[in-house]
């Protein structure tokens, strides 16, 4: 029985076996809605369980939710990519700043992707906009 629980508690990721605590995890606090013209700073945190120092990257992509086309330039998402180093027991924290254009219509899809070597985590958020 314990062997079955152990096997069920493991996740296969490529050639790497991850325990219940994954090697890489993104946490963010996105808004529930955005107002046209609003400037926003998205706070993001990458937690990891790497035991050696490695370099990775965190990407913030903004898409029009209905067309799935990028709107990063229109939203003035100036620094959509940030490097980080996995220092033992130290999460990486950063902010992505953007501004919702006054003319924007519809929902915004916000995607964060963290990657270190072949290990990747991503989160997707759908955020409505209004006047």
**What order of strands is seen across the sheet that includes strand 55-64?**
34-35, 119-130, 107-116, 55-64, 81-85
11 falls within a domain: no
- Cβ–Cβ under 8 Å, residues 84 and 19: no
Identify whether 16 is part of a domain. no
Whether the full predicted model's pTM is greater than 0.85, yes or no, is no
Residue at 9 is within a domain: no
Higher pLDDT, 97 or 16: 97
For residue 15, tell me if it sits in a domain.
no
Residue 40: domain span: 21-130
Beta pairing, strands 119-130 & 34-35:
parallel
Assigned domain for 3 exists = no
Residue with tokens 């107002």: 35
In this structure, is residue 12 part of a structural domain? no
Q: How confident is the model at residue 70 (pLDDT cuts 50, 70, 90)?
A: very high
CA dist 4 and 31 (Å) reads 40
In a domain, 84, yes or no: yes
> Cα(131)–Cα(125) distance, rounded to whole angstroms?
20
What is the CATH number for 68? 2.60.40.10
pLDDT in tens, 76-110: 887 899 999 998 889 999 999 999 999 999 999 99
Number of structural domains (the chain) is 1
Reference 47, options 114, 111, 95; nearest CA is: 114
């Amino acid at each position: 029985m314990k062997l079955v629980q152990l096997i069920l508690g493991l996740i296969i990721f490529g050639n790497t076996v991850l325990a219940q605590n994954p090697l890489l995890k993104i946490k963010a606090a996105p808004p529930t809605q955005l107002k046209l013209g609003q400037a926003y700073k998205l706070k993001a945190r990458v937690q990891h369980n790497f035991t050696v120092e490695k370099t990775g990257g965190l990407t913030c992509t903004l898409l029009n939710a209905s067309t799935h086309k990028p709107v990063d330039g229109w939203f003035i998402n100036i620094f959509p990519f940030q490097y980080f180093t996995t220092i033992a027991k130290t999460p990486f924290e950063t902010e992505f700043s953007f501004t919702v254009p006054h003319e924007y219509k519809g929902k915004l899809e916000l995607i964060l992707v963290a990657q270190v070597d072949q290990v990747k985590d991503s989160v997707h958020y759908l955020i409505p906009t209004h006047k």
